[in-house]
Structure 1
Amino acid sequence: MLDNFPFYLGLLIIILLLIMLANKIKVAYPVLLVLAGLAISFFPGVPVIKIDPELIFFIFLPPLLYEAAWTVSWKQMWRWRRIITSFAFIVVFVSAFSVAIVANYFIPGFSLALGFVLGAIVSPPDAVSAGAILKFVKVPKTLSSILEGESLLNDASSLIIFRFAMIAVATEQFIFYKAAISFSWMVFGGVAIGLLIGWLFMKAHKYLPTDANLDIFLSLLTPYIIYLAAEEVHSSGVLAVVSCGLLLSNNRHRFLSSKSRLQSLNVWESLCFILNGLVFMLIGLDLPEITKGLEETSLMTAIGYGVLITFVLIISRIISSYGAVIVTLIARNFITVADNRNPGYKTPFILGWTGMRGVVSLAAALSIPVYLNNGNGFPQRNLILFITFIVILLTLLIQGLTLPYFIKKIKLNDIYDPVPRHEAANHLKQELAEFVLDYLKTNYEGQTEHNPSLQHLIQKWEQHIKGIDNEIISQDHKHIYLDLIIQQRKWLINKNKEDQTLDESIIRRQMHYLDIEEEKLRYI
Structure 2
Amino acid sequence: MIESFVFYLGLVMVIIFAIMLAKMMKIAYPILLVVAGLLISLIPGIPPIKIEPELIFIIFLPPLLYEGAFQISWKELWKMRGVTASFAFIVVFLTAIIVAFVANSYIPGFSLALGFVLGGIVSPPDAVSAGAILKYVKIPKNYTTVLEGESLLNDASSLIIFRFALVAVATGQFIWQDAAISFGWMVFGGVGIGLVLGFIFLKVHKIFPTDVNMDVILSLAAPYMMYIAAEEVHSSGVLSVVSGGLFLSVRRHQWLKTPESRLKGFNVWESFTFLINGIVFLIIGLDLPEITAGLKNEGVKISEAIGYGLIVTAILIVVRFIASYLIVLTLLIVRNFINVADPNPERKSPILFGWTGMRGVVSLAAALSIPVALENGQPFPHRDLVLFITFVVILATLIVQGLTLPALIKWLKIPVETPYHMSEKEASIVLQKGMKDVALSYLRKNFKGGHDENLYIKNMIIRWEREEGEDEESIFTLSPEGKEIYFATMEKQREWLRKENRENPLIDEEVTRLYLLKLDLEEERLRIE
TM-score range, shorter chain: over 0.9
Match of residue 375 from structure 2: 373
**Equivalent residue for 1:459, pick from 462, 466, 475:** 462
CA distance in 1, matches of 2:228, 2:7: 31
**TM-score between the two structures when normalised by the length of structure 1:** 0.97
Deviation of 1:469 after TM superposition, in Å, equals 5.3
CA distance in 2, matches of 1:2, 1:174: 49
CA distance in 2, matches of 1:400, 1:509: 29
Match of residue 259 from structure 1: 260
CA distance in 2, matches of 1:210, 1:453: 31
**Equivalent residue for 2:304, pick from 301, 305, 315:** 301
Q: Structure 1: which 5+ runs fail to align?
A: none
Counterpart of 1:270, as a letter, is S
Q: Deviations over 1:29-72 (max 9, x none)?
A: 00001011101101100000121100100110011111111111
Deviation of 1:414 after TM superposition, in Å, equals 5.2
CA distance in 1, matches of 2:173, 2:134: 43
Deviation of 1:422 after TM superposition, in Å, equals 3.2
CA distance in 2, matches of 1:264, 1:523: 18
Q: Deviations over 1:200-225 (max 9, x none)?
A: 11111222121000111111111111
CA distance in 2, matches of 1:284, 1:514: 42
Deviation of 1:133 after TM superposition, in Å, equals 0.5
Q: Structure 2: which 5+ runs fail to align?
A: none
Match of residue 384 from structure 1: 386
Match of residue 185 from structure 1: 185
Match of residue 138 from structure 1: 138
CA distance in 2, matches of 1:426, 1:468: 16
CA distance in 2, matches of 1:508, 1:413: 23
Counterpart of 1:380, as a letter, is H
1:343–1:415: 8 Å Cα contact kept in structure 2? no
Deviation of 1:333 after TM superposition, in Å, equals 2.1
Match of residue 448 from structure 1: 451
Deviation of 1:113 after TM superposition, in Å, equals 1.1
Match of residue 490 from structure 2: 485
SS in structure 2 of the partner of residue 447 of structure 1: coil
CA distance in 2, matches of 1:311, 1:278: 28
1:388-403 equivalences in 2 (<5 Å): 388-403=390-405
Match of residue 502 from structure 1: 507
CA distance in 1, matches of 2:271, 2:416: 35
Segments of 4+ in structure 1 off by > 4 A?
Answer: none
CA distance in 1, matches of 2:52, 2:122: 18
Match of residue 54 from structure 2: 54
Match of residue 167 from structure 2: 167
**Equivalent residue for 1:322, pick from 325, 329, 334:** 325
Identical pairs, percent? 58
> Is it true that 1:473 corresponds to 2:473 in the alignment?
no
CA distance in 2, matches of 1:419, 1:493: 17
Segment drifting more, 102-111 vs 275-284:
102-111
CA distance in 2, matches of 1:112, 1:415: 46
**TM-score between the two structures when normalised by the length of structure 2:** 0.96
2:138–2:416: 8 Å Cα contact kept in structure 1? no
Q: Say how many residue pairs are matched.
A: 522
CA distance in 1, matches of 2:242, 2:477: 41
SS in structure 1 of the partner of residue 18 of structure 2: helix
Counterpart of 2:367, as a letter, is A
2:422–2:507: 8 Å Cα contact kept in structure 1? no
Counterpart of 1:113, as a letter, is A
Counterpart of 2:433, as a letter, is Q
Counterpart of 2:117, as a letter, is V
**Equivalent residue for 2:341, pick from 328, 338, 343:** 338
Deviation of 1:412 after TM superposition, in Å, equals 2.2
1:432–1:488: 8 Å Cα contact kept in structure 2? yes
Segment drifting more, 70-79 vs 169-178:
169-178
Counterpart of 2:305, as a letter, is A
Segment drifting more, 186-195 vs 219-228:
219-228
SS in structure 1 of the partner of residue 294 of structure 2: coil
Q: Deviations over 1:78-136 (max 9, x none)?
A: 11111111111011111111111211111111111111110110000110001111111
